[in-house]
Amino acid sequence: MNKSFNKKIYFILVFSAIFLPYSVFASNIYIDASHPDFFVGDTIIFSVRVDSENKNINAVEGSVLLDYLAGSVSLIDINTAGSKLSLWPGKPLPSESNTSISFAGGAPGGFNSKDAVIFNIVLQLQKAGQITLTPDNLSVYLHDGKGTRDTTNIQNLIINVLPPEAGYKPVNELSALISQDKTPPESFEIIAGQDVSVFEGKKFLSFSAVDKQSGIKYYEVREGDLPPTRSDGTYVLQNQDKPTKVVVVAYDAAGNARESVLYTILNSYLNLIAIVVFVMLLFVTFGLVVKKMKKNDSIQK
């Protein structure tokens, strides 16, 4: 009788695993490194990743906590090289104490992946000891048109930094990555916008390039004949009342560049064009009416 009962339980569990919707499996947020051993002096890239568990997701937000003894680690860089997320309402930024990194990013088309990179953390290991990287307060959203929040599991990463062995040459993964990157960032669009809630209602541009190797370092904006300006992804137009040519250049960490151009047509000029077109239509209409009147007069005579 016990055997029969056990068989029923086993059947129920197997049936549930096969036929229940895949959404019951939570997305997993974890951190990994390609380097297996860690020694003082190494500069290591740690990737924050998401396993969507066979679901389509389109946004992830939260933070990563960095737990280490004071002076044992230096935060060298945070980049989005190879990230599945292309829009960053909140780019990965460290706290003042460099003990946490907050972020909020999205992928308009959604994605389904077991090991998608969210962003990368580059640490230089300065003293022997233990370091813990912990995803915290994470939210993952399904690509279902409803903004549904998925359940999440998190996995922290604990590493032990060892004293270097005699003759050991420190590893620098960031330097190696940059030296190998010969490919410019991918093509990107410049989007013009205006909203009373931002930039005091002024007209602005936004742009977001993707670089899958060393990551986007910064943007340079050239508006007309004005001097170039560095930007992190937005730019308030200096010429608010006349059209102008704007060139945005995206640079990756290796110095490779990709250029995008936008010719702005501002509202005042659109209004002027509309007025000109309207006046021209009036003249054409008036001409047709006069012509028709003359034709009628000639017929009556």
- Give pLDDT, residue 22: 41
- Nearest-angstrom CA–CA distance, 104 and 107: 11
**2 located within any domain:** no
Would you say residue 15 lies in a domain? no
Residue reference for tokens 């230089």: 124
Residue 17 lies in a domain: no
Check pLDDT > 50 for residue 14: no
**Overall number of domains in the chain:** 3
Same domain? For 40 and 115 the reply is yes
**149: its two tokens:** 């929040």
Provide the residue range defining the domain that includes 300: 268-301
> 223: which residues sit within 8 A by CB, 6+ positions away?
229, 235, 237, 238, 239, 244, 245, 246
Checking if the pLDDT of 134 tops 80, the result is yes
* Confidence at residue 119, expressed as pLDDT on a 0 to 100 scale: 96
- The mean pLDDT of 13-17, rounded to a whole number, is 39
pLDDT band at 153 (very low <50, low <70, confident <90, very high): very high
Residue 102 has pLDDT above 50, yes or no: yes
Q: What is the mean pLDDT of residues 90-118?
A: 95
129 contact partners, CB below 8 Å, separation of at least 6:
68, 69, 72, 160, 161
Residue 46 belongs to some domain of the structure:
yes
Comparing 69 with 274, which gets the higher pLDDT? 69
pLDDT above 60: residue 69: yes
Distance separating alpha carbons of residues 206 and 190, to the nearest angstrom? 6
Q: Are 68 and 129 in a shared domain?
A: yes
pLDDT of residue 17: 39
Give dist(CA 139, CA 158) in Å, integer. 22
| The dihedral sign for the CA sequence 84, 86, 90, 96 | positive
Mean local confidence (pLDDT), 259-263: 96
Is residue 297 predicted with pLDDT exceeding 90? Answer: no
Does 218 have pLDDT greater than 80?
yes
Cα(181)–Cα(77) distance, rounded to whole angstroms?
Answer: 17
Residue 13 lies in a domain: no
Last residue of a domain, one of 158, 180, 202: 180
- The answer to whether position 243 is within a domain reads yes
- Residue 202 CB: number of other CB atoms within 10 A? 13
**Residue 40: what are its φ and ψ, rounded to 5°?**
-55, 130
At residue 24, the pLDDT reads: 56
CA terminus-to-terminus distance, the chain: 115
**Model's pTM, two decimal places?**
0.75
CA dihedral (203, 209, 214, 220) positive or negative: negative
Q: How far is it, in rounded angstroms, from Cα 164 to Cα 245? A: 54
